Amino acid sequence: MVGIGEPVLVFHGGHSNCHEEFGYEALIENGFSIITPSRAGYGKTSKEIGETLSMACDYYVKLLQHLNIEKVHVVAISAGGPTGIIFASKFPHLTRSLILQSAVTKEWLMPKDHTYKLASILFNASTEKYTWAMIAGITNVFPRFMFKQMFSSFSTLKYKQAKDKINNNDIPSVAQMNRRQRSGHGFLMDLSQTKELTVKDLKSINCPTLIMHSNFDSAVSTEHAKLAHANIRHSKLYLLDTWGHLIWLGNLSRHTNAIVIKFLKSDG
């Protein structure tokens, strides 16, 4: 928990945990407090509470009750998108607004996909510690090299095409991200649970909803954002020209933050 003010409940993305940082500075500076639980299977949160997305959301409600918080803005990021959608759908009386950022909104990677098979090897609970230790180690010695190597996993642009969109702070920000990333049991749970999402869940969301997605996102396609916008009745869609999946980075990050703050202080 960080900041003082109106509460924002963040459902972090894949490979992350309660130590997530992207987008937080702008929220804190504009008078919001942020609650970030490690989602089921991540950090020190047990995988048992996340047998289903619905069950996990029941536990996040218990957290809010424990903190005596009656209503929250919900921010759901990347692989945390399905959790945010189920939470807003199932608990409208607790959800002041919903923000989907680079969010998964339908079945994502499938077992037959090469990326899914690779993730099952590199990021399962037995190997992920070593995978991230290797990534962090290389990052510490060669941060620019690692940024370039990882770039295609975040952006559909070639690195040279995106140079005018990349900020000087992006390389150290991604390096810091690589040092705090862990998958635990959570990431493979994320992959398997996206199939629980239905269009009915999207249609049942009634709170003001902001959907933000980069036009150049290679990790989660813009089809996820468009599907959410087509089915959430009180939604606004912003397709951004940021360089990729990490919409809080780059020369247009101020624009990203401005849209979020305007939404929370008006529609939200």
Q: On the CB side of 91, how many CA atoms lie within 13 Å of its CA?
A: 25
User: Rounded CA gap, 179 and 118, in Å?
Assistant: 21
The CA-CA-CA angle for residues 3, 174, 181, to 5°, reads 75
Residues near 62 by beta carbon (within 8 Å), at least 6 away in sequence:
none
CA atoms of 48 and 130, how far apart (whole Å): 23
Which one of 78, 89, 97, 173 is the catalytic residue? 78
What 8-state DSSP symbol labels residue 38? Answer: P
Q: Which two tokens stand for residue 112?
A: 């037959």
What per-residue string of b and e applies to 154-187 under the rule 16 or more CB within 10 Å gives b? Answer: bbbbeeeebeebbeeebbebbbebbeebbbbbbb
* Other beta carbons within 10 Å of 60: 24
HEC profile of 63-109: HHHHCCCCCEEEEEEHHHHHHHHHHHHHCHHHEEEEEEECCCCCCCC
Active site residue 153: no
Residue 209: its H or E element: strand 209-214
* CA atoms within 13 Å, Cβ hemisphere of 82: 26
What separation in angstroms does the CA of 103 have from each of 10, 65, 197, 210, 217? Answer: 12, 26, 13, 11, 10
Active site residues per annotation: 78
